Amino acid sequence: MELLSETDIQTIHKQCSLSKKNIQKWYITDYSDNLVGYLGEHLSLFFETESERRKFFIKCVPRFNSFRANYVRETAFFNKEYIMLSKLFQNFRDNDGLQKWRPKLLYVKEELFVFEDVTEIGYIMPSNLSTLTYNEILATIAALARFHAQSWIHEEEKSIELDRPYRLWEDYADYLSEPERGQPWRDTGMRAVIDFLKIYSKFRTKHNFEEIVNVKIPELYKIAEKLMKPSIKYRNVVVHRDVWSNNIFLKTLDNGKMHALLVDYQTVLYCAPAIDLSALIYLNTTKQFRLKYTKKMIDFYYEVLCVELKLEDIDITSMISKCNFVESYTESLAFGMTQAALVIPMIAMSDDQRKEIFDNPETGAVLSEVSRSQEFIDVAKVNKTYKNRVIELFDDIVETFCIHQ
């Protein structure tokens, strides 16, 4: 299968700073074994001229894993990102410097996207085996706030243009909803939470513990599903909902501050922005960190959002007050914590363990839609760091929603 034609290459060439230099050679290679690409394959595109070689980043539908390729097509996750990149995000500000929130898009077609490779300008991807530092988490929260601001900026501009209130849901509802085909993956992940708790929870000796989690955890995931839909209480934005290490790029600037960019917009939804913030926090921090810094993280998000909107002469209180945002964050925890519980067991293991479990097309459907509980339990038996990270989150859920209510 030809990924890029000569015409495609010329289009990309015109979009990058090499446009005045002739390409003598171009080629595509695998990107990196360290990139945990479940819903896409990642490649590098190289351009060579007389004086330099430039590298770009390709994301495409998986070519050699039939289950994953069929899955991203059936769930329309890849199509979600295609519509975001080719249509909606064309109306968003592509800011430079500190206001930049995503890598520059150079070329897009339905099953392949080409971006600048931000590792070429000093950005690095944090490790999936550890949580983010204080400076890293604030930089990531700032990128999220800048991304969220774009929804409201565009809606306000469109409202003025149409002389009536406009919301993105009018034009993009089909692409900002959770696909029904994705529900089995969530259900399987939920059952893995329950099974893992029964083996490793520090609360497992409590009276009726198994009965409690058998009832309470599914109830909690039902609440989370409602939060994944447009809110009738709070102003909605396009949310990323999957901001963990593999979808973050970080760079330490000359002034010593950290800057972050967000990638992979294939699981976007349209709902209250707080669910994105809570998911980000629970995906990337420890319980101890959250106890110490949650208020600071909420305040910082709101401050950055306020600044971004003010640059466009939009008063943040006309979108959401600080008091209401804090209230919304508290309500969002049912989503943020359960979303993290679906993702962390898959990403907190070593590369070798992950490949052994998830890279087999023959077992992909079973792990995705039937059961992956035993796989997680077995990894925890031999990997104490993995077990501790996973059960800390799971027990936090139990403590918050199951036994102290």
- Dihedral sign, Cα of residue 354, residue 362, residue 31, residue 243: negative
**What is the model's pLDDT at position 34?**
55
- The lowest-confidence range among 133-142, 164-173, 248-257, 285-294 is 248-257
Which residue, among 266, 262, 330, has the nearest Cα to 298 in the 3D structure? 330
Residue 170: how many CB atoms within 10 A of its CB?
Answer: 11
**What is the model's pLDDT at position 371?**
92
33: confidence class by pLDDT, cuts 50, 70, 90: low
- Select the more confidently predicted residue: 222 or 50: 222
CA atoms within 13 A on the CB side of 219: 10
Q: How far, in Å, CA of 104 to CA of 136, rounded?
A: 21
**Angle at 395 (CA atoms; ends 389, 396), nearest 5 degrees:** 90
| pLDDT value at 16 more than 90 | no
**What is the model's pLDDT at position 147?**
98
Range of the domain at 223: 6-402
Mean pLDDT across 26-38? 73
**What angle, rounded to 10 degrees, do the helices at 183-200 and 322-347 form?**
80
118: confidence class by pLDDT, cuts 50, 70, 90: very high
**Average confidence score pLDDT of the chain:** 93
| pLDDT value at 92 more than 80 | yes
Two structure tokens written together for 375? 């796989």
Phi–psi pair at 261, nearest 5 degrees: -125, 150
pLDDT tens digits along 303-342: 999 999 999 999 999 999 999 999 999 999 999 999 999 9
| pLDDT value at 128 more than 90 | yes
Question: Does 1 map to a domain?
Answer: no
From its phi and psi, is residue 264 left (phi > 0), alpha (psi between -120 and 50) or beta? left
Tell how far CA 176 is from the center of its chain: 14
Question: Does 72 map to a domain?
Answer: yes
| pLDDT value at 35 more than 70 | no
**What is the model's pLDDT at position 259?**
98
Mean pLDDT across 68-96? 92
Question: How many residues are there in the chain?
Answer: 405
Mean pLDDT across 154-171? 98
**What is the model's pLDDT at position 241?**
96
Q: How far, in Å, CA of 215 to CA of 263, rounded?
A: 36
Two structure tokens written together for 192? 């893995």
| pLDDT value at 137 more than 90 | yes
Question: Does 334 map to a domain?
Answer: yes
| pLDDT value at 405 more than 60 | no
| pLDDT value at 18 more than 80 | no
Cβ contact 175:80 at 8 Å: yes
Phi–psi pair at 385, nearest 5 degrees: -60, -45
Which of 93-97, 182-186, 279-283 has the highest mean predicted lDDT (pLDDT)? 279-283
| pLDDT value at 109 more than 90 | yes
CA atoms within 13 A on the CB side of 304: 23
141: confidence class by pLDDT, cuts 50, 70, 90: very high
Two structure tokens written together for 112? 């392949």
Domain count, the chain: 1
pLDDT tens digits along 340-390: 999 999 999 988 888 888 877 777 788 888 899 999 999 999 999 999 999
pLDDT tens digits along 56-79: 999 999 888 888 888 889 888 999
Question: Does 351 map to a domain?
Answer: yes
Two structure tokens written together for 117? 């490779």
pLDDT tens digits along 230-278: 999 999 999 999 999 999 999 999 888 999 999 999 999 999 999 999 9
Question: Does 250 map to a domain?
Answer: yes
Provide the 3-class DSSP secondary structure of residue 189: helix
